[in-house]
C-alpha cells in the first residue's frame, strides 16, 4: 500500500505552483495526441493556395472515401428515416406501409406533448435527471476505482480487475425479481429509497458502476506515468490532492467517454426501470413509451415515434458536444 | 503512502530532536491542507449520521439482522477513512458497497432460486397454499339464499346478525350456531340487537382479518353449512370440500375421500401421485442443475443452439470490429473534408434506442410487405426472417448495423494514437501501406481493443434483446418438443423454456443462467490471461 | 493523515449534531405503525394503462362514501399478469387487478386469486360472462366486458352482408378487389382469429362437460379438425392465398383503411380507427365455410381479487357493489368500446349499431378455455396453422399437432 519507490532526485528550483506542476505533467507524458477532424486545425490539411490535384488522383486518394461515407451514411440513417416518417403520419403504423412521408402532420408530436394521460415532459425530466446523476456518479466512482487499481498494489488486485468484468456477464434473467424484493424491503424502512423512487433506481444503476467502463479508465490511467505522482509527492501533496487536482485533469478525455457511455446506457435502460418505477409521473422515457405500444390493440405507433425522435435529442446533443473528447480520449490509452 | 519528512530524516544517522519532529509535524499538516480535512470530516459525519438514523429506524422495528449489517458497514467505513493506511480501500469502498448490494445480491439471489422449485404452482409459502386451497374449496350450499348481514361485536368477539328468508333475525358467532333473537329492523334487515354493538362499515374494515375468519355454523349439523361473509354486508352458506389436518399435514377431499399429504415435494400429493395445486416453494438443492444437464426435450436443440450462440457472438464481434476498423481507416485521411459530419451520421445507430431500431428492421425484412423486398428489390420474395439460414444471416446483419458505430469510435481513437513517426519511419524503410498496417498499426490497435472485444463477445453471447425483438427465435423448429427456433441463442431458449408459458420453472431457468454464466466467464478469463490484457502498459 | 485529537473531536461533534437533527426528523415523521394503520384503509387496484381514467370516478365515489382510499395504478398490459403472480405471494402485490378470464387457470394454479361471491347480482350479468368468470365451480372474477371478433365490412364497397365464406370472397372479387378479405396473422400463426372457421368444421379445442372444458377430451385432432386443416391449406399460399402469414396486425389494418380489402376479421379495438378514417363500417357475423355456425372465441375481461389482500372486505365491497353497477360498467365501455358484461349496461350500449353487431356475434361465441392444459395448445397450435397455410401437408401436420399437444398435456 505504500509506494516503495525511492524519492527521485528532483531538478533544482522546482516550480511548485499548480501551473508549474501541470507543465511538468505534460512534459512527462509527451505531447497529447493531436485530434484530427474535430478541431479546425487539420494537421496536414490543404492550405489555401495548394495546387488542386487532378480528378483521377483525387478520386483514388480521397473520392472513393466519400462514396464509402455516403453509402454507410444511408445505411445507418435509413431505418431512422422510417421512424421520422411514422412520427409525421398521425394515424400511421410503424411498418404497415412503405410509402414514406405520405402524410405530413405534427399531430402526433402535439398529442404526445399535451395528452394528460401521457406525462411526456415528466418522463423527459426524470430520464435526464436519472441518466445525468448516474453518469456523473459512475464516472466518479469508476475513476476512484481505476486509480486505485492502476497506482496501488494490493492483494486481490488482479482478481478484482477480472471479477468486475466477469460479474457484469451474469445473465440478468432474475435480476428483476431480485431488485424488486430488495427495493421493496428497503422501502419498508426508508420509503425515499425504495420502490417507485428515482434515488432507488439510481442506486441500482450504480451497482454497475464498477465494470467494463472502469477497465477502460484503468487502461488510460496506466498511461499517466507514476513519476508524475512522485513529483507531486515531493511537493508535499497528499494522495487525495494528487488524485483530484492533477490526475483527474489529465484523464479528462476518458472521463468524457465513460460519461457518454453510461449516460446512454442509463437513458435507454428499460427492464429494471420498469419494475422500480410505478407511478407514471416517476417513470422514464423508455418505460413510459413502451407502455404506449405494449398492447398491440391500442398501440399508438405514431405518437411513440414522435416521442422517440424527441427522446433521441439529448443523447445526440451530448454526443456532438463530447465528440472531440471521445476521439482524443480513447487514443492515449493505447500508446505504450 | 506519503514519504514524509520523518522517514527521510530517519535515514540519517543522527536521531531527530524534538524540535525537528515538531517542525516536521507542522510542515506535514500544512502540506496536507485544512480544506481536505474539513471535507473529510463533513462527509464522514454525514455518512455516520445517516447510518445512525438508519440504525434507529431498524432497531425500533426490531430488525436485528439489518441493523447489525448497517452498523458493521458503517464501522468499516469509519475504520477505513480514519486510518492512515488502507488506501486502496478508501478509493474502492463506495463502489464495492454498491456492487455488493445491487449486483452481487442479484447473483446470490439467482443462485438461491436455482436451488428451489420456484415456478408455476410453487410461488408462495405452505401457509399461503393451504389458505388458498381452503378458500377455493368452499362451495355454496345448493339453493341457499343470501342472508343480509350486520356484523356485531360483544366484548371483542364478533358475531353475525343475519336476516333469514322468513324475515326473522338470527345471531351466531364462530363456533356457536345460529339462534333466533329479537332485533331492531330497518327496511326488513336486522341491524341491531341487545347486548351487542353494531359495527360501522369503517370498523368492519379495520377488523378485516377477523371478519374473514368469522365462520358461523347454520346449525349443529355440519352438513347444513356455515355462514361466511366477504364484503361485510351479506353472508352466504358454504360447505368445504377439503379438510385440512395441520398436525398430520394432510388435505382430505371430503367427497372422494382421497387423502393428500405433504411428502416434501412442495405440494399435497395423493397416493397415486396426483397433486393439489397451488403448492409451495421448497429448497431442492442441486436438482435443477442436474435437470438442466440431462433434460431430454432440451438435449436435441441444445447442441445446435449452443453452436449458433458461439457463431453468433464470434461473427458479431468480428464483423462489427472489422467494419468499424475499415471505416476508421477510410476516414483517417486528413485530406478528406467533411469527416466530422460523416462520423456524426455513422454514430446514429448507436444513439437510438435499440428496441425501436430492431422493430423497424423486422418490418423492413417482412417477406411480403417489407421495404427491402417491395421497394429495394422490386417485389422480390426473399424470406429474410422465415428461412432458417437466411434468418441467421438477417440477425447478423442487424447486429452489425447496431454494433459497428461503437467499434468505429474505438478504432478511430486508437488509430489516432499511433504516432505518425512509426509509420513514417517504416515508409522511409520502404514498407508498403498494407504491410505498415498489418505489422505496426494492427498489433498496437489490438492491445487497447482486446478487452473491449472480449467484453463484446460476452455481451453478444447473452444478447437476448436482439433475438427476442427481431425474430423471437424463429423460424420455429418443427421437430422440437419445446418452442425453440433456429435463431434462438442459449439465453433466449432458456427464457422460453423457463420463463414463458403456463408452466414456468424459474428455478430451472436460474440454474441454466448460472451454467451459461460459468461457460462465458471461463472463456473470458482464459482469453484475458492469454492476451495478457491485464499487463500494465508502462 | 494522522488521526489526531482535533479531527476526531470535530468528527464526533459533527456526528452528534447530525444525529440529533435526524432523530428529530424521524421522531416527527410518521412511525411505521402509524402508516400501517393508514394503509389498512386503502385498496390498490391495477388497471390497464388505457382505462385508468374510466375508473377514477368510481374510485373517488367509493372513497367519499366509505373513507377507504382507492389507489389506481396504471400497468403495462404485457407484464400485468406476470407481475401479479410474482408480487402477490410476497405480500406486496395489489388488492385488485384487471385481467382476462383465460388467466384463471394460471392464477388458480398459483393460488394468487381469492374466490369472489357475487351473490344475487350474478344473475344480472350476461351468461357467457358468468361462465367465463367461473373456474372449477368457483367464481373468481368480476366481469366488465365481453369481447369477441366479427367481420368489419366496408359498406361503401360492399353494400350487402355475405352468406358464406365463398360468397364473401366472390363479392369482393366482383367488386374488383385483389385481396377482398384480410385477417391478422403472423409468422407463428394466429389461431385466435381463425377459431370461428375451426368451430364451423365442428372441431373445438376441448370438449365440455358440466364443469366447463374437459382437459382430458382433446377434440383438436378430430376428423373435423383435419377437414379444417385441408380447407385452410386450400386457402393458403398454394391455393387462393386468402390467408398469408406475412400479414400482421398493422398491415391488415392498413389494407382495410386504404380500401384494398373490404372485409376485415378483427375485434372492437380496431373499430375506432376504421371509423376515424372515414370508412362506413358494418359489422357482420363471421361467414362460415360450411353450413355450421362459425363461433369465435369470447374473451371476458374482469377484475380479480388477490388472495393476499390485506383489505379483502373493502376490496370485495368495491368490486361487487361499485364496479358491478351499470354506471361504472358504462364508463369502462366508453374507454374501451367493448360490450359491457352487465346485462343492463349491455342493453344501453347496444343502442350503437356497431356494438349491437358485435353483441349478436357474441351470442354465439364460446369462452376461451382457461384450463392449464390450454397453455400446451397455444404452444403448438399457431405454428401448425402457419405451416399448413404455407403449404405443408394438412393431414400430417394436423395429426402431429394433436399428438404434440396430447403429449404436452400429460
Q: Domain limits of chain C? A: 41-147+299-367, 148-297+369-409
Of C245, B352, B113, C156, residue with least CA distance to A289: B352
Which helix (H) or strand (E) covers residue B156, if one does? none
| Confidence band of C39 (pLDDT split at 50, 70, 90) | very low
Does A271 lie at the interface with B, CB-CB under 8 angstroms?
no
Dump strand ranges (E) for C119-203: 134-135, 138-139, 141-148, 150-154, 181-183
Q: What pLDDT shows up at residue C36?
A: 42
CB spacing of A331 vs B27 below 8 angstroms = no
Same domain, B131 and B246: yes
Separation of alpha carbons C8 and A236, rounded Å? 23
Cell numbers representing residue B464 in the block: 437476448
For domain C148-297+369-409, is the CATH number 2.130.10.10? no
The 3-state secondary structure of C19-47 reads HHHHHHHHHHCCCHHHHHHHHHCEEEEEE
Q: Provide the shortest C-alpha distance from residue B404 to chain C (in Å).
A: 29
Same domain, B361 and B436: yes
The number of beta carbons lying within 10 Å of the beta carbon of residue B187 is 6
Using the 8-state DSSP alphabet, how is residue C321 labeled? I
**Final residue before a domain boundary, out of B114, B145, B170:** B114
Q: Tell me: pLDDT of C38 over 80.
A: no
Separation of alpha carbons B359 and A83, rounded Å? 10
Evaluate whether B386 touches B474 at the Cβ level (below 8 Å).
Answer: yes
Q: What pLDDT shows up at residue C99?
A: 95
Q: What pLDDT shows up at residue C358?
A: 93
Who among A172, A203, A239 is closest to B1 (CB)?
Answer: A239
Same domain, B422 and B386: yes
Of C396, C27, C14, residue with least CA distance to C226: C396
Task: Map grid coordinates 422493430 to a residue.
Answer: B359
The residues pairing with B138 across neighbouring beta strands, listed in sequence order, are: B240
CATH number of the domain bearing residue B78: 1.20.58
Q: Tell me: pLDDT of A208 over 60.
A: yes
Same domain, B150 and B40: no
Q: Is residue B184 part of a domain?
A: yes
For A326-335, B278-287, B422-431, C216-225, which range has the lowest pLDDT when averaged over its residues?
Answer: A326-335
Who among A68, A144, A212 is closest to B95 (CB)?
Answer: A144
Q: Is 0.95 surpassed by the pTM of this model?
A: no
Give the best-scoring range by mean pLDDT among A51-65, A78-92, C274-288: C274-288
ipTM: 0.81
Show the domain range for B171.
127-276
Evaluate whether A292 touches A299 at the Cβ level (below 8 Å).
Answer: yes
Same domain, B350 and B215: no
Q: Tell me: pLDDT of C217 over 50.
A: yes
Q: Tell me: pLDDT of C22 over 60.
A: no
Does B111 lie at the interface with A, CB-CB under 8 angstroms?
no
Q: Tell me: pLDDT of C313 over 70.
A: yes
| Confidence band of A329 (pLDDT split at 50, 70, 90) | very low
Q: Is residue B10 part of a domain?
A: no
Q: How large is the average pLDDT for residues C270-287?
A: 90
Q: Which residue of B has its CA nearest to A149?
A: B88
Evaluate whether C310 touches B135 at the Cβ level (below 8 Å).
Answer: no
Taking contacts as CB-CB distances below 8 angstroms, the residues of chain A near B414 are 330-331, 334
Instruction: Please determine whether the domains at C41-147+299-367 and C148-297+369-409 fall in the same fold group of CATH.
Output: yes
CATH number of the domain bearing residue B389: 1.10.3720.10
State which residues of chain B have pLDDT below 50. 1-13, 31, 536-538
Q: Which CATH class is domain C41-147+299-367?
A: alpha beta
Q: How large is the average pLDDT for residues C270-292?
A: 90
Which helix (H) or strand (E) covers residue B467, if one does? helix B464-470
CA angle centred on C271, ends C265 and C277, rounded to 5°: 110
| Confidence band of A51 (pLDDT split at 50, 70, 90) | low
Does A95 lie at the interface with C, CB-CB under 8 angstroms?
yes
**Final residue before a domain boundary, out of B83, B114, B145:** B114
Evaluate whether C384 touches C395 at the Cβ level (below 8 Å).
Answer: no
Same domain, B253 and B369: no
Q: What pLDDT shows up at residue B439?
A: 77
Same domain, B522 and B376: yes
Cell numbers representing residue B488 in the block: 434462438
CB spacing of B336 vs A65 below 8 angstroms = yes
Radius of gyration of chain B (CA): 36
Q: Tell me: pLDDT of A125 over 90.
A: yes
pLDDT in tens, B161-170: 999 888 889 9
Dump strand ranges (E) for C96-205: 96-100, 134-135, 138-139, 141-148, 150-154, 181-183
Separation of alpha carbons C270 and C337, rounded Å? 10
Taking contacts as CB-CB distances below 8 angstroms, the residues of chain A near C83 are 275
Same domain, B176 and B198: yes
Residue A8's Cβ-count burial label (10 Å; 0-12, 13-18, 19+) is: exposed
Peptide bond into C96 cis (omega under 30): no
Q: What pLDDT shows up at residue A289?
A: 85
CATH number of the domain bearing residue B216: 2.40.430.10
Q: What pLDDT shows up at residue C4?
A: 54
The number of beta carbons lying within 10 Å of the beta carbon of residue A42 is 16
Residues 35-94 (B) with a CB less than 8 A from some CB of A: 36, 54, 57-58, 61, 63, 66, 85-88, 91-92, 94
Same domain, B132 and B260: yes
CA-CA-CA-CA torsion for B375, B381, B386, B387, nearest 10 degrees?
Answer: -130
Q: What pLDDT shows up at residue B5?
A: 45
Same domain, B100 and B193: no
Task: Map grid coordinates 405433504 to a residue.
Answer: B262
The number of beta carbons lying within 10 Å of the beta carbon of residue C388 is 28
Instruction: State how far the alpha carbon of C213 is from the alpha carbons of B137, B274, C173, C202, C373, in Å.
Output: 19, 20, 40, 15, 10
Q: What pLDDT shows up at residue B21?
A: 65
Residue B417's Cβ-count burial label (10 Å; 0-12, 13-18, 19+) is: buried
pLDDT in tens, A252-288: 777 877 888 788 888 888 888 988 998 888 999 888 8
Does B436 lie at the interface with A, CB-CB under 8 angstroms?
no
Q: How large is the average pLDDT for residues C15-27?
A: 55
Considering only the C-alpha atoms of chain C, give the largest distance between any 2 of them, rounded to a whole number of Å. Answer: 100
Question: How far does CA B286 lie from the centroid of its chain?
Answer: 21
**Going by C-beta distance under 8 Å and a sequence separation of 6 or more, which residues neighbour residue B407?**
B320, B321, B323, B324, B325, B456
Q: What pLDDT shows up at residue B420?
A: 67
Number of helices (H) and strands (E) in chain B: give both, helices first: 21, 16
Task: Map grid coordinates 477510410 to a residue.
Answer: B330
Amino acid at each position: 500500500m505504500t509506494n516503495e519507490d525511492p524519492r527521485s532526485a528532483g531538478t533544482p528550483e522546482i516550480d511548485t505552483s499548480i501551473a508549474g506542476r501541470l507543465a511538468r505533467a505534460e512534459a512527462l507524458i509527451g505531447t497529447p495526441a493531436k485530434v484530427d477532424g474535430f478541431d479546425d486545425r487539420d494537421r496536414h490539411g490543404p492550405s489555401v493556395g495548394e495546387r488542386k490535384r487532378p480528378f483521377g488522383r483525387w478520386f483514388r486518394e480521397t473520392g472513393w472515401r466519400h462514396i464509402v461515407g455516403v453509402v454507410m451514411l444511408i445505411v445507418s440513417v435509413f431505418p431512422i428515416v422510417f421512424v421520422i416518417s411514422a412520427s409525421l403520419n398521425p394515424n400511421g403504423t410503424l411498418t404497415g406501409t412503405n410509402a414514406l412521408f405520405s402524410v405530413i402532420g405534427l399531430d402526433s408530436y402535439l398529442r404526445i406533448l399535451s395528452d394528460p394521460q401521457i406525462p411526456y415532459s415528466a418522463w423527459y425530466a426524470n430520464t435526464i435527471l436519472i441518466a445525468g446523476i448516474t453518469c456523473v456518479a459512475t464516472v466518479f466512482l469508476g475513476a476512484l476505482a481505476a486509480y486505485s487499481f492502476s497506482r496501488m498494489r494490493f492483494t486481490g488486485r488482479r482478481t478484482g480487475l477480472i471479477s468486475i468484468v466477469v460479474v457484469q456477464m451474469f445473465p440478468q434473467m432474475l435480476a428483476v425479481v431480485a431488485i424488486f424484493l430488495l427495493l421493496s424491503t428497503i422501502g419498508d424502512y426508508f420509503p425515499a429509497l425504495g420502490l417507485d423512487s428515482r434515488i432507488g433506481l439510481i442506486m441500482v444503476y450504480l451497482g454497475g458502476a464498477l465494470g467494463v467502463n472502469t477497465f477502460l479508465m484503468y487502461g488510460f490511467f496506466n498511461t499517466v506515468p507514476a513519476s508524475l505522482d512522485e513529483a507531486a509527492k515531493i511537493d508535499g501533496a497528499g494522495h487525495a490532492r494528487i488524485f483530484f487536482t492533477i490526475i483527474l485533469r489529465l484523464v479528462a478525455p476518458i472521463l468524457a467517454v465513460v460519461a457518454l457511455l453510461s449516460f446512454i446506457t442509463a437513458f435507454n435502460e428499460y427492464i429494471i426501470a420498469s419494475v422500480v418505477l410505478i407511478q407514471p409521473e416517476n417513470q422514464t422515457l423508455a418505460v413510459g413509451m413502451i407502455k404506449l405500444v405494449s398492447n398491440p390493440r391500442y398501440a399508438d405507433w405514431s405518437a411513440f415515434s414522435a416521442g422517440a425522435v424527441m427522446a433521441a435529442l439529448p443523447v445526440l446533443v451530448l454526443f456532438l458536444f463530447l465528440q472531440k473528447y471521445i476521439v482524443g480520449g480513447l487514443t492515449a490509452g493505447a500508446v505504450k | 503512502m506519503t514519504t514524509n519528512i520523518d522517514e527521510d530524516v530517519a535515514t540519517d544517522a543522527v536521531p531527530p530532536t524534538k524540535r525537528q519532529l515538531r517542525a516536521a509535524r507542522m510542515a506535514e499538516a500544512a502540506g496536507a491542507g485544512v480544506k481536505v480535512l474539513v471535507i473529510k470530516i463533513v462527509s464522514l459525519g454525514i455518512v455516520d449520521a445517516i447510518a445512525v438514523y438508519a440504525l434507529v429506524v431498524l432497531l425500533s422495528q426490531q430488525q436485528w439482522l439489518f441493523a447489525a449489517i448497517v452498523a458493521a458497514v458503517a464501522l468499516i467505513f469509519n475504520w477505513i477513512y480514519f486510518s492512515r493506511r488502507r488506501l486502496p480501500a478508501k478509493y474502492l469502498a463506495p463502489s464495492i458497497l454498491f456492487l455488493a448490494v445491487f449486483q452481487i445480491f442479484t447473483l446470490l439471489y439467482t443462485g438461491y432460486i436455482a436451488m428451489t422449485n420456484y415456478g408455476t404452482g410453487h410461488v408462495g409459502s405452505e401457509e399461503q397454499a393451504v389458505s388458498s386451497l381452503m378458500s377455493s374449496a368452499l362451495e355454496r350450499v345448493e339453493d341457499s339464499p343470501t342472508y343480509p348481514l350486520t356484523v356485531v361485536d360483544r366484548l371483542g368477539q364478533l358475531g353475525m346478525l343475519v336476516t333469514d328468508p322468513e324475515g326473522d333475525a338470527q345471531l351466531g358467532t364462530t363456533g356457536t350456531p345460529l339462534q333466533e333473537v329479537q332485533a331492531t329492523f330497518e327496511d326488513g334487515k336486522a341491524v341491531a340487537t341487545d347486548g351487542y354493538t353494531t359495527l360501522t362499515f369503517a370498523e368492519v374494515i379495520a377488523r378485516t382479518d377477523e371478519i374473514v375468519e368469522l365462520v358461523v355454523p347454520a346449525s349443529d349439523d355440519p352438513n347444513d353449512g356455515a355462514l361466511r361473509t366477504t364484503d361485510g354486508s351479506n353472508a352466504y352458506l358454504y360447505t368445504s370440500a377439503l379438510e385440512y389436518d395441520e398436525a398430520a399435514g394432510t388435505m382430505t377431499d371430503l367427497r372422494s375421500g382421497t387423502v393428500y399429504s405433504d411428502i416434501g415435494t412442495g405440494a399435497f400429493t395423493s397416493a397415486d401421485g396426483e397433486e393439489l395445486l397451488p403448492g409451495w416453494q421448497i429448497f431442492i438443492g442441486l436438482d435443477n442443475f442436474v435437470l438442466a444437464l440431462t433434460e431430454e426435450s432440451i438435449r436435441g436443440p441444445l447442441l445446435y443452439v449452443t453452436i449458433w450462440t458461439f457463431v453468433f457472438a464470434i461473427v458479431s464481434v468480428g464483423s462489427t470490429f472489422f467494419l468499424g476498423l475499415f471505416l476508421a481507416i477510410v476516414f483517417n485521411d486528413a485530406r478528406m473534408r467533411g469527416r466530422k459530419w460523416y462520423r456524426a451520421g455513422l454514430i446514429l445507430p448507436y444513439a437510438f434506442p435499440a428496441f425501436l431500431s430492431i422493430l423497424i428492421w423486422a418490418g423492413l425484412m417482412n417477406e411480403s410487405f417489407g421495404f427491402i423486398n417491395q421497394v429495394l428489390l422490386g417485389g422480390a420474395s426473399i424470406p429474410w426472417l422465415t428461412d432458417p439460414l437466411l434468418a441467421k444471416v438477417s440477425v447478423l446483419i442487424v447486429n452489425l448495423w447496431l454494433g459497428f458505430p461503437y467499434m468505429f469510435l474505438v478504432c478511430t481513437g486508437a488509430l489516432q494514437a499511433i504516432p505518425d513517426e512509426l509509420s513514417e519511419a517504416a515508409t522511409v524503410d520502404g514498407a508498403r501501406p498494407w504491410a505498415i498496417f498489418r505489422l505496426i498499426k494492427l498489433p498496437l490497435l489490438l492491445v487497447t481493443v482486446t478487452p473491449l472485444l472480449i467484453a463484446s463477445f460476452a455481451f453478444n453471447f447473452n444478447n437476448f434483446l436482439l433475438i427476442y425483438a427481431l425474430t423471437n427465435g424463429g423460424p420455429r423448429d418443427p421437430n422440437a418438443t419445446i418452442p425453440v427456433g433456429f435463431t434462438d441463442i442459449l439465453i433466449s431458449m432458456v427464457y422460453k423454456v423457463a420463463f414463458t408459458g403456463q408452466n414456468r420453472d424459474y428455478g430451472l431457468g436460474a440454474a441454466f443462467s448460472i451454467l451459461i454464466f460459468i461457460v462465458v466467464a471461463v472463456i473470458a478469463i482464459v482469453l484475458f490471461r492469454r492476451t495478457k490484457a491485464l499487463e500494465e502498459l508502462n | 493523515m494522522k488521526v489526531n485529537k482535533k479531527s476526531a473531536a470535530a468528527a464526533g461533534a459533527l456526528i452528534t449534531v447530525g444525529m440529533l437533527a435526524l432523530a428529530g426528523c424521524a421522531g416527527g415523521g410518521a412511525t411505521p405503525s402509524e402508516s400501517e394503520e393508514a394503509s389498512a384503509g386503502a385498496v390498490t387496484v391495477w388497471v390497464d394503462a388505457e382505462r385508468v381514467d374510466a375508473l377514477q370516478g368510481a374510485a373517488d365515489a367509493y372513497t367519499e362514501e366509505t373513507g377507504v382510499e382507492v389507489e389506481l395504478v396504471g400497468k403495462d398490459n404485457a407484464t400485468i399478469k406476470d407481475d401479479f403472480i410474482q408480487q402477490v405471494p410476497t405480500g406486496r402485490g395489489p388488492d385488485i387487478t384487471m385481467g382476462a378470464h383465460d388467466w384463471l387457470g394460471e392464477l388458480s394454479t398459483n393460488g394468487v386469486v381469492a374466490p369472489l361471491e357475487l351473490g344475487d347480482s350474478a344473475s344480472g350479468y350476461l351468461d357467457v360472462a358468468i361462465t367465463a368468470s367461473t373456474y372449477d365451480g368457483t367464481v373468481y372474477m368480476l366481469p366488465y366486458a365481453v369481447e369477441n371478433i366479427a367481420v368489419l365490412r366496408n359498406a361503401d364497397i360492399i353494400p350487402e352482408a355475405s352468406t358464406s365464406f365463398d360468397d364473401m370472397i366472390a363479392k369482393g372479387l366482383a367488386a374488383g378487389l385483389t385481396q377482398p378479405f384480410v385477417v391478422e396473422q403472423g409468422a407463428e400463426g394466429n389461431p385466435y382469429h381463425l377459431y370461428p372457421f375451426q368451430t364451423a368444421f365442428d372441431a373445438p379445442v376441448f370438449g365440455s362437460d358440466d364443469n366447463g372444458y374437459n382437459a382430458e377430451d382433446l377434440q383438436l385432432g378430430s376428423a373435423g379438425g383435419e377437414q379444417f386443416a385441408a380447407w385452410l391449406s386450400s386457402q393458403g399460399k398454394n391455393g387462393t392465398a386468402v390467408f398469408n402469414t406475412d400479414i400482421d396486425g398493422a398491415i391488415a389494418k392498413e389494407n382495410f383503411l386504404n380500401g384494398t380489402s373490404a372485409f376485415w376479421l378483427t375485434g372492437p379495438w380496431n373499430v375506432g380507427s376504421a371509423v376515424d378514417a372515414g370508412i362506413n363500417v358494418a359489422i357482420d357475423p363471421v361467414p362460415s365455410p360450411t353450413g355450421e355456425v362459425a363461433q369465435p372465441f369470447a374473451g371476458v375481461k374482469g377484475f380479480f381479487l388477490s388472495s393476499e389482500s390485506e383489505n379483502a372486505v373493502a376490496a370485495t365491497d368495491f368490486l361487487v357493489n361499485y364496479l358491478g353497477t351499470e354506471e361504472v360498467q358504462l364508463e369502462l365501455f366508453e374507454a374501451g368500446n367493448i360490450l359491457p358484461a352487465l346485462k343492463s349496461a349491455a342493453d344501453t350500449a347496444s343502442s350503437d349499431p356497431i356494438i349491437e353487431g358485435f353483441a349478436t356475434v357474441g351470442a354465439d361465441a364460446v369462452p376461451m378455455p382457461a384450463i392449464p392444459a390450454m397453455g400446451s395448445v397455444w404452444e403448438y397450435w399457431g405454428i401448425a396453422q402457419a405451416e399448413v397455410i404455407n403449404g405443408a401437408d394438412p393431414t400430417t401436420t394436423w395429426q402431429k399437432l394433436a399428438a404434440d399437444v396430447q403429449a404436452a398435456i400429460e
